[in-house]
Amino acid sequence: MVLDWNKYVETARQVSAEGCVLLKNEAHTLPLQEGCRVAVFGRIQNNYYKSGTGSGGMVNVSNVTGILDALREEPGLSVDETVRETYEKWEKENPFDEGIGWANEPWSQVEMPLEEEFVRDASLRNNMALVIIGRTAGEDRDNVDAEGAYQLSKREIDMIEKVTSYFEKTAVLFNIGSIIDLSHPCLQACQAQMIVWQGRRCADRKSVPLWAFDRYDCKKNRRLPIFALFWRRRQKLLCGRHLCRIPVF
């Protein structure tokens, strides 16, 4: 049997897209409409988690296209460049923390603090905001009930509160491979929530249509990652272990 690499990649991308789960969608927030002007908040826009930690995550890949990269390639969307450039500048002085040694990468990365004026000005230029929350966990680095892991961090809460207070429509995207607490009041103010999980290197352009245009009807997606099946009982960690969907490509 000869592997058809192009077909293999296309199938992997489709699996990545279909693994996304829409949790909430009010006021027709998703899918994004053509012509939408969107501001993207959260440093994971530039540091997409393709997988969890451990041997399963230590896989060499030729490239990983992040959420922001894919958004900027969509001709029908306008991504706020001022917000993007501000994050890029801040991250040069606050680089991604990979940890030192085996299984020492933190569950999440420190978020950029947001000034009210910065968020307000962005809301005047755009008609929608995307907030991206990222988490990792895995082999020898199980999820824990702590801030920045199962719980939202203080800066993430502040970010969501400020963005939702100025933007009429806000969608929160969870780039995660484990469960996370959805009970914090700040999340009640957003109009949409979606698990975009960790789709390996193939979670690039093919995952965007789920929350961009009408090429894929996210309302019909009922392919829940296994951790989401338990998410409904979410106020308690299940035996302290992370539960994640592991697709076989």
Query: How would you write the pLDDT of the chain (249 residues) with one tens digit per residue?
Result: 788 888 877 777 777 777 788 899 999 898 888 899 999 999 999 988 888 787 767 677 777 778 888 888 888 889 999 999 999 999 999 999 988 888 888 999 999 999 999 999 999 999 999 999 999 988 888 889 999 999 999 999 999 999 999 999 999 999 998 889 999 999 999 999 998 888 765 544 544 544 543 344 444 444 444 444 334 333 333 333 333 333 333
Specify the 3-state DSSP secondary structure of 106. coil
Contact status, residue 201 vs residue 64, Cβ threshold 8 Å: yes
Alpha-carbon gap, residue 51 to 247, rounded angstroms: 11
**Alpha carbon of residue 118 to chain centroid:** 22
Distance (Å, rounded) from C-alpha 174 to C-alpha 29? 16
User: If we measure between CA atoms, which residue out of 90, 182, 83, 174 comes closest to residue 128?
Assistant: 83
Q: Which long-range contacts (CB under 8 A, 24 or more apart) does 53-56 make?
A: 53/103, 53/105, 53/136, 53/137, 53/138, 53/139, 53/140, 53/141, 54/103, 54/138, 54/139, 54/140, 54/141, 55/139, 56/138, 56/139, 56/246
* pTM > 0.95: yes or no: no
Kindly list the distances between the CA atom of residue 116 and the CA atoms of 44, 49, 81, 123, in Å, as whole numbers in the listed order. 20, 28, 18, 11
Asked if 123 and 167 touch (Cβ cutoff 8 Å), the reply is yes
- Answer whether 175's CB lies under 8 Å from 132's CB: yes
